[in-house]
Amino acid sequence: MRSLFVMDPLEGLDLSGDSTFALMRASTARDWEVWWCHPGALWAEAGQARARAQRVVTSADGFERHEWAEVALADFQLVWMRKDPPFDMGYIFSTYLLDLVGPKTLVLNAPAGLRSRNEKLFAAAYADLTPPTLISRDIERLRAFVEAQPDRAVLKPWDGNGGRGVLVTRAGDPNLRSMIEVLTDEGRRYILAQRHLPEIADGDKRILLVDGEPAGAVLRVPGRADHRGNLHVGATAHATTLTPREREICARIGPTLRAEGLLFVGIDVIGGWLTEINVTSPTGIHQVNRFDGVQLEERILDAAAARHRRER
Ligand SMILES: Nc1ncnc2c1ncn2[C@@H]1O[C@H](COP(=O)(O)OP(=O)(O)O)[C@@H](O)[C@H]1O
Ligand SMILES: [Mg+2]
């Protein structure tokens, strides 16, 4: 097997916590050849996706860089799209380039799925699994939605990640209209308004799914100083298990994930309500491994290899 990881620059990786590095290391351990490239190093010529890429050999705690080469993506069995957000036009265009890999190469997650599934709207499509949500850029409509909630509400950008821009508000909040103006850039950008779930005090559960099946979870409990359950703003990670309701959520969305080639996905669940389906570059392998005593990267590689055998 030859694998190419399309990703942010290697020098910026936190090797002890990075999920992409865990996949690279497990690939090397299987004697698969591992290469990496930046999405900006992809190009298309004569209908074929190509890249300037570098071969790497990983070890337990690092990697050796080997030769750079101009490669055809068709010469790889697996291409992993692991670029971190922002999900912008550059990101979308790289998924078009990844459509040109040729019939023998499997791209994970599938470029069409990455393009068509927005992380917050994908969740909102399952209205009975998500908290009441409005997606709009109309300042008055957003304000009326918040005013109609029984207690608090959150406002968040459609394309946020890591908790960026997630604000808590409530009916009667004198800052409400101003917050909506700022987040929507005066009605020019879409945002989500959502019923606030008080169960966030008990944590935001990240459940990792491999080929549509739940494979592990970690509970992120907000710290005292910040309402958000994102680890880099002070939330702490805890071991957890899945409730029947969370298994039901996974069972409902799993077949769609599998059908669309979204092999490695992380969903966020607060109090049994689905808030997000992260498809672009989910993380959390290390935490799940630590708490559940598993090797999630092995399960992901097994699933990828099986899918490649089946489909290519
Ligand atoms: N409906 C909600 N009720 C309570 N808190 C929420 C809600 N939605 C988001 N949050 C808070 O914001 C954090 C990030 O929200 P999320 O929707 O997962 O966006 P992001 O992509 O930025 O992680 C959550 O961990 C939680 O603390
Ligand atoms: Mg989240």
**CATH (residue range 2-112):** 3.40.50.20
Read off the pLDDT band of 182 (50, 70, 90): very high
How is the chain split into domains, by residue range?
2-112, 132-196, 199-304
Give the model's pLDDT for residue 61.
81
Ligand nearest to C-alpha 233: 1
| Per-residue model confidence as pLDDT tens digits over 200-217 | 999 999 999 999 999 999
Q: Is the pLDDT of residue 60 over 90?
A: no
What does pLDDT average to over the chain?
97
Identify the residue whose C-alpha is closest to ligand 1 atom 2.
Answer: 196
Report, at the CATH architecture level, how domain 199-304 is classified: 2-Layer Sandwich (3.30)
| Ligand at shortest distance from the CA of 165 | 1
Mean pLDDT of all residues in 104-120: 97
Ligand 1 is surrounded, with C-beta below 6 A, by 131, 154, 156, 160-164, 166, 194, 196-197, 200, 204, 222, 227-230, 268, 270, 275-276
- Name 156's Cβ contacts closer than 8 Å, sequence gap at least 6: 120, 165, 166, 167, 183, 191, 192, 194
**Per-residue pLDDT tens over the stretch 115-158:** 999 999 999 999 999 999 999 999 999 999 999 999 999 999 99
Domain covering 132-196, topology: Dna Ligase; domain 1 (3.30.1490)
Give tens-digit pLDDT for 28-44: 999 999 999 999 999 99
Distance 161 CA to ligand 1 centre (A): 9
The predicted-structure confidence for 238-252, as pLDDT tens digits, reads as follows: 999 999 999 999 999
* CA of 227, closest atom in ligand 1: 27
Q: What is the pLDDT of residue 147?
A: 98
Per-residue confidence (pLDDT) for residue 44, from 0 to 100 = 98
Q: Which ligand 1 atom minimizes the distance to the CA of 197?
A: 3
Do the domains spanning 132-196 and 199-304 agree at the CATH topology level?
A: no
pTM exceeds 0.85: yes
pLDDT for residue 279 = 97
Quote the pLDDT of residue 249.
Answer: 98
Q: Which residues are catalytic?
A: 120, 156, 206, 220, 228, 268, 276, 278
Q: Which atom of ligand 1 is nearest to the CA of 204?
A: 25
Looking at residue 278, what is its pLDDT?
97
What average pLDDT does range 265-269 have in this prediction? Answer: 98
Pick from 120, 134, 151, 156 the residue to mutate for probing ligand 1's pocket: most ligand atoms within 8 Å of its CB.
Answer: 156
Residue 113: the pLDDT is 98
Amino acid at 32: W
* Ligand located closest to 85 CA: 1
Q: Which backbone phi and psi does 158 adopt, to 5 degrees?
A: -65, -25
pLDDT of residue 48: 98
pLDDT confidence band for 221 (50 / 70 / 90): very high
